[in-house]
């Protein structure tokens, strides 16, 4: 820290060695700068304060009935619109600034000048200040007055244009939604007419009917299963009864056992012949004819026996009762199957109707939803229209936006600028800063040793001691003369600064 302080002190002392650079640079900069500032033209500023009154007695009374305009937002937009070329040309015309303009470049220069120098500030508590600065005091007043005029006209025009455009938009939307509402009502009417009996609330409980039919089918199938079981039992009883009847009357199919050995002998004889001959041998053919004759006779006898046994069985009352029961069961089963088929067809029909009803209900909900949305927007637009009509009546009374000029523009008697005192001081400070910078640059270009420790630090050679300079009378006189001259130069600079501040400001 001590080394840094020593280094700073060194640069200060070394810079002060070039003190004449500082004072000469200050003189060279300050004199032309002061002369330039002295010849700057005076500028005059005219200011007006205007209040935008938005607080009226009707506003709280009409809350919720009329549309509350965003007056502050509208004023902010008008502030931006004031700097458009159209409004600036109008301001120049009202202020009489464009009378001597002949070329387009001159008009453009005037518009740019107005755009840069017109200031619209404020907005707190609805109070705005309008100011304009120029070299002519009367011109400043006329420009501010013109800005007030254009600002007021633009406010009223903006409010009316906004109301007209809003009303046109609302009316167009009302017509569009009215047509859409009629189309939606017609669509609902046609849909209801095309689906009479299928609409919600126009039928019974189809789900309950389907469930009841399913229960009935289950009961019918259970009864059918019971009848089938009874039928199987009766069939077994019938078979047993028929067999017992045949045994009772000696009608067994094995009564002709006497002829079985002959048939077996013929078959055995044929087999022996086939070992020697083919099937076309006459002996084999004769035996085959005999075998077929015996089999045919046995078949005829069997049919006769079965016919006689069947007749005997039919004459049995027990067999007849079993057959009657079987016929009754078959009739019942056929009736139940017919009912089951009818129930199943009804279920299919109810399922189809139920699915169709669901589709109709879904489509009806969509139509109702669209109709409700359109009706809601239509009612809202009608309400907005009534609010807009009431708002127009309020605006027609001039209660929505009022301009009150708090401070009218005046002709300035004294110039508002330029701020010469600040500019003179800035020129003096700038000259001194430039002089110090030049002196510091000279130190960096041509460094010198001021203390012995600098030599030791830079060279690394130990310093045994230092010898102070001893000046003679002539050298002392010259040094004092230089100090006096430097003091006089500094004093003259300060005196010139003080004089120009006192007499020219």
Within-domain flag for 27 = yes
Q: What is the pLDDT of residue 396?
A: 57
Within-domain flag for 75 = yes
| Calpha distance 500→3 (Å, rounded) | 44
Buried residues in 406-441 as b, exposed as e (16+ CB within 10 A): eeebeebeeebeeebeebbeebbeebbebbbeebbe
Q: What is the pLDDT of residue 430?
A: 93
Q: What three-state secondary structure class fits 325?
A: helix
Q: What is the pLDDT of residue 251?
A: 43
Grade residue 433 by pLDDT with cuts at 50, 70 and 90. Answer: very high
Both 261 and 299 in a single domain? yes
Both 152 and 212 in a single domain? no
User: Per residue in 216-240, pLDDT tens?
Assistant: 889 888 988 888 888 888 888 777 7
Q: What is the pLDDT of residue 427?
A: 92
Number of domains in the chain: 3
Of the two residues 54 and 419, the one the predictor is more confident about is 419
**pLDDT cut 90: percent of the chain above it:** 7
| Calpha distance 136→134 (Å, rounded) | 6
Q: What is the pLDDT of residue 33?
A: 92
Looking up tokens 């009502």, which residue turns up? 185
| Calpha distance 365→119 (Å, rounded) | 61
pLDDT mean over 251-257: 45
Within-domain flag for 185 = no
Q: Which two tokens stand for residue 207?
A: 């789900």
| Calpha distance 286→270 (Å, rounded) | 9
User: Per residue in 143-170, pLDDT tens?
Assistant: 888 888 887 777 666 555 556 677 788 8
Of the two residues 279 and 344, the one the predictor is more confident about is 344
Q: What is the pLDDT of residue 258?
A: 44
Please, is 483 exposed, middle or buried when counting C-beta atoms within 10 Å of its C-beta (0-12, 13-18, 19+)?
Answer: exposed
User: Per residue in 284-342, pLDDT tens?
Assistant: 777 888 888 888 877 777 676 556 555 544 556 777 788 788 888 888 888 888 888 88
Give the pairing of strands 118-122 and 44-53: unpaired
Q: What three-state secondary structure class fits 84?
A: coil
Given a contact cutoff of 8 angstroms between Cβ atoms, the answer to whether 92 and 124 are in contact is no
Q: Which two tokens stand for residue 446?
A: 């041509």
Both 256 and 357 in a single domain? yes
Both 211 and 303 in a single domain? yes
Both 315 and 435 in a single domain? no
Q: What is the pLDDT of residue 204?
A: 59
Both 165 and 124 in a single domain? yes
Both 242 and 328 in a single domain? yes
- The CATH number linked to 169 is 3.30.1890
Give yes or no for a cis peptide into 257 (omega within 30° of 0). Answer: no
Given a contact cutoff of 8 angstroms between Cβ atoms, the answer to whether 50 and 127 are in contact is yes
Both 311 and 279 in a single domain? yes
Q: What three-state secondary structure class fits 460?
A: coil
Both 442 and 346 in a single domain? no
Within-domain flag for 375 = no
Both 74 and 151 in a single domain? yes
Looking up tokens 């609302």, which residue turns up? 170
Q: What rounded mean pLDDT belongs to the chain?
A: 78
Q: What is the pLDDT of residue 488?
A: 93
Grade residue 249 by pLDDT with cuts at 50, 70 and 90. Answer: very low
Both 399 and 440 in a single domain? no
Q: What three-state secondary structure class fits 168?
A: helix
Given a contact cutoff of 8 angstroms between Cβ atoms, the answer to whether 80 and 177 are in contact is no
DSSP string, 95-129: HT-STT--SHHHHHHHHHHHHHHEEEEE-GGGEEE
pLDDT mean over 445-451: 74
Looking at mean pLDDT, say which of 68-82, 200-214, 429-443 comes out highest: 429-443
| Calpha distance 18→34 (Å, rounded) | 25
Within-domain flag for 186 = no
Within-domain flag for 199 = no
CA R_g for the chain: 64
Within-domain flag for 190 = no
Grade residue 257 by pLDDT with cuts at 50, 70 and 90. Answer: very low
Beta bridge partners of 66: 63
| Helix H or strand E segment including 475 | helix 473-503
Within-domain flag for 184 = no
| Calpha distance 95→289 (Å, rounded) | 149
Q: What is the pLDDT of residue 425?
A: 92
Q: Is the pLDDT of residue 73 over 70?
A: no
Domain limits at 210? 206-368
User: Per residue in 16-60, pLDDT tens?
Assistant: 788 888 899 999 999 999 999 888 888 888 888 887 765 544 455
Both 353 and 228 in a single domain? yes
| Helix H or strand E segment including 227 | helix 206-248
């Amino acid at each position: 820290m001590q080394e840094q302080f020593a280094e700073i002190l060194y640069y200060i002392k070394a810079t002060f060695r070039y003190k004449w650079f500082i004072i000469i640079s200050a003189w060279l900069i300050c004199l032309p700068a002061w002369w330039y500032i002295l010849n700057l033209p005076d500028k005059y500023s005219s200011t007006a304060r205007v209040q935008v009154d938005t607080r009226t007695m009707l506003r709280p009374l009409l809350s919720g009935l009329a549309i509350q305009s965003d007056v502050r937002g509208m004023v902010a937009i008008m502030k931006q619109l004031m700097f458009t070329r159209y409004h600036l040309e109008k301001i120049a015309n009202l202020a009489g600034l464009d009378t001597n303009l002949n070329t387009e470049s001159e008009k453009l220069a005037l518009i740019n000048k107005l755009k840069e120098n017109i200031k619209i500030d404020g907005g707190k508590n609805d109070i705005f200040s309008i100011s304009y600065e120029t070299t002519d005091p009367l011109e400043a007043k006329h420009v501010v007055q013109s800005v007030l005029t254009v600002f007021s006209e633009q406010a009223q025009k903006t409010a009316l244009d906004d109301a007209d455009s809003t009303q046109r938009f609302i009316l167009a939307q009302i017509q569009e939604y009215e047509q859409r509402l009629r189309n939606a009502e017609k669509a609902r009417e046609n849909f209801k007419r095309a689906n009479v009996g299928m609409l919600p609330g126009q039928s019974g409980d189809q789900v309950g009917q389907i469930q009841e039919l399913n229960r009935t089918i289950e009961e019918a199938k259970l009864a059918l299963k019971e009848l089938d079981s009874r039928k199987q039992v009766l069939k077994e009883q019938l078979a047993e009864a028929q067999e017992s009847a045949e045994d009772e009357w000696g009608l067994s199919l094995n009564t002709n056992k006497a002829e079985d050995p002959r048939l077996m002998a013929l078959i055995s004889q044929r087999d022996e012949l086939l070992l020697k001959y083919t099937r076309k041998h006459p002996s084999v053919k004769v035996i085959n004819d005999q075998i077929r004759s015996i089999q045919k006779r046995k078949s005829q006898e069997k049919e006769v026996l079965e016919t006689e046994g069947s007749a005997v069985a039919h004459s049995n009352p027990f067999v007849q009762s079993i057959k009657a029961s079987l016929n009754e069961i078959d009739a019942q089963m056929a009736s139940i199957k017919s009912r089951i088929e009818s129930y199943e067809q009804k279920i299919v029909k109810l399922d189809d109707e139920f699915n169709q009803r669901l589709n109709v209900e879904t489509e009806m909900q969509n139509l109702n939803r669209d109709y409700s949305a359109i009706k809601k927007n239509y009612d809202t637009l009608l309400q907005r229209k009534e609010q807009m009509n009431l708002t127009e009546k309020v605006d027609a009374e001039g209660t929505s936006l009022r301009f009150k000029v708090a401070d009218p523009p005046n002709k300035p008697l004294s110039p508002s600028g330029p701020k010469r005192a600040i500019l003179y001081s800035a020129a003096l400070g700038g000259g001194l800063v430039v002089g110090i910078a030049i002196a510091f640059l000279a130190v960096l270009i041509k460094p010198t040793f001021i203390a012995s420790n600098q030599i030791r630090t830079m060279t690394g050679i130990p310093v045994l001691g230092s010898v102070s300079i001893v000046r003679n009378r002539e050298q002392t006189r010259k040094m004092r003369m230089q100090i006096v001259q430097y003091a006089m130069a500094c004093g003259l600079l300060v005196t010139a600064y003080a004089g120009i501040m006192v007499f020219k400001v």
